[in-house]
Chains A and B, each alone.
Chain A
Amino acid sequence: MKVLVAVKRVIDYNVKIRVKADHSDVDLTNVKMAMNPFCEIAVEEAVRLKEKGVATEIVAVTVGPKAAQEQLRTALALGADRAIHIETDERAESLAVAKLLAKVVDEEQPGMVILGKQAIDTDNNQTGQMLAALTNLPQGTFASEVAVDGDKLHVTREIDGGLQTVALTLPAIVTTDLRLNEPRYAKLPDIMKAKKKPMDMKTPADLGVEVASKVSLLKVESPAERKGGIKVASVDELVDKLKNEAKVL
């Protein structure tokens, strides 16, 4: 089956962000960018499905500015066969991304779409669920295990109380949790080969999707800073402070 993987370009997870002085947004100038960690897990899962003979072709898709092609190249180096870049400089919210991906699903007819559960910039955790709604497909979110069983997909989901397994009809939408797999690193020869793999360019207009959203970002602030406290010298002092100063014991 064909597997579609959605990857997002985001700030590197190790970078500590700064809010712009005018509070209009977060300052991303000269900040290290990378593939969203949950998308790395999505790509890895697709590659493993191909290695198992379940997937026959892997198509990586991104919605974003020209620079997002770097993340598509990474996906190609990791094992995707071809890529689709939907180029926009606008801030594409989850609903718009889901609409664009739904168009791609329409054109490509994949057996499975794998997305990250959450982009670590907006922390939205929505796009996969929205894509499932728009394509009228079942969803296996926050997956820690995925197994094809005949015409069904078994997805083990990380839920608040523990683990839940659901069986979905195919095609299906899957979103990845951290423990689904441990992504590999791209090898240099594969990075070279990835440069020659095909990449399709499209715009939201080509697909007939309006990117503008009805949600506006009014302000971005830094959270209340926690003042660092003190170091205590012993367990006795700690217990005393907790009882008599903080009064939490």
Chain B
Amino acid sequence: MSILVLADLHEGQLAGATAHVVAAAEAIGGDIDVLVAGEGVQAAAEAAAKLNGVTKVRVADNVVYAHQLAEPLSALLVELADDYTHVLASASTTGKNVLPRLAALKDVSQLSDIIAVDSADTFKRPIYAGNAIATVKSDDALKVITVRTTGFDAVSEGGSGSASIEAVDVVVENSQSSFVKEELAQSDRPELGGAKVVISGGRGMGNGENFKLLDGIADKLGAAIGASRAAVDAGFVPNDMQVGQTGKIVAPELYIAVGISGAIQHLAGMKDSKVIVAINKDDEAPIFQVADYGLVGDLFEILPELESNI
């Protein structure tokens, strides 16, 4: 078995997701190479070389791979894929954008969002917003897979930088797509996907200004702040905060849902959290069916009290 992991980058740095994908690769077993593709990604390559379990880091550092656009990245992966039995990426917006394109170019299926490895060709993945878990077997010669990071504990960093780093000199052409701009959310808080504590607000927050009520609590707990789709749709907060079937999937130690009713699409994104707290004024809200601790009441009274008590 030989596995190629496409590294996730965040503003040019190695994103935390990659260590989870390497863990999934370890569960499959075999040599694990990591591909770092982008522009000015030497530091990311060095960080990837420190991950335990990685044999070799391959670096494609060229302007054509900047911003990891799907067209050049999948063309690059097509060139490299013949050396491997599996190509893995995290189920991030980059992984989801690139890997299906690679799979079709290689005339193989793609498995999305695996949460467990049964064997080198058999995997578990959630379907129907996580309301069913499918076990699927792939007989394709090349397995192309995106990994749900919450399903695999991150590998640690060996610190030794033991994996070798090797330049890939394949440069593809791309005249079809070009980068125009990016508006990335700036925040000092932990990343939603990796945070130990997440506090999310829903439509019950009333407006964007009121999300400040979550700030003090998040500061004290070192939490990331999330939201329901209703809160995003209403314009209270930006789209990258959405937790759910079609937003981010989180599984922190503690998830606090405030003014969120608990629609199945929201539950799909957070029901694997270790401890769930729900704060809602409607004692029949479905969120209470999954909450370990429910507190019925007005969030505008509860939040300030919670902030001063923790």
Q: Please report A residues at the B interface, Cβ cutoff 8 Å.
A: 11, 13, 16-17, 19, 26, 93-95, 98, 117-118, 120-127, 129-134, 137-139, 141-142, 144, 154, 157-169, 177-179, 213-223, 226, 228-232, 234-236, 238-239, 241-242, 246, 248-249
Contact = CB atoms under 8 A, between A and B. Distances in A.
B293 interface: yes
Contacts of A17: 128, 131-132
A157 B181 CA distance: 10
Interface residues of B, number: 90
A141 B104 CA distance: 16
Chain A interface, >50% SS class: mixed
B108 A95 contact: yes
A129 B100 contact: yes
Interface-centre pick from B101, B179, B276 (highest chain A CB count, 10 A): B101
Contacts of B112: 123-126
Contact of B293 (A95, A159, A229): A229
B132 A232 contact: no
B129 A167 contact: no
B137 interface: yes
B280 to A, nearest CB: 11
- The 3 tightest CB contacts between A and B, nearest first, are A229-B292, A129-B100, A130-B104
Contacts of B181: 164-165
B109 A118 contact: no
Nearest to B102: A133
22 contacts: A123-B245, A125-B100, A130-B101, A130-B110, A133-B103, A138-B71, A141-B70, A144-B239, A158-B239, A159-B240, A161-B184, A162-B185, A167-B178, A168-B176, A169-B176, A178-B246, A222-B132, A223-B126, A229-B294, A230-B292, A235-B305, A238-B277
Contacts of B93: 141-142, 157-160
Contacts of A219: 134-135
Contacts of A19: 132
A120 B245 CA distance: 9
B88 to A, nearest CB: 15
Given A98-B104, A215-B111, A238 B70 contact: no
A118 B110 CA distance: 14
Interface string B58-70: 0000000001011
Interface-centre pick from B128, B130, B246, B294 (highest chain A CB count, 10 A): B128
A29 B117 CA distance: 31
A132 B133 CA distance: 29
Nearest to B255: A248
Given A98-B104, A133-B101, A229-B294, A164 B179 contact: yes
B128 A11 contact: yes
A80 B291 CA distance: 44
A19 B277 CA distance: 28
B303 to A, nearest CB: 9
Interface in B105-148: 105, 107-113, 122, 126-140
B173 interface: no
Given A142-B96, A222-B133, 18 more contacts: A94-B110, A95-B103, A130-B101, A158-B239, A162-B240, A163-B239, A166-B178, A166-B179, A167-B178, A177-B239, A179-B239, A215-B109, A215-B140, A217-B134, A218-B135, A223-B132, A239-B309, A248-B253
Contacts of B265: 13
B129 to A, nearest CB: 7
B212 interface: no
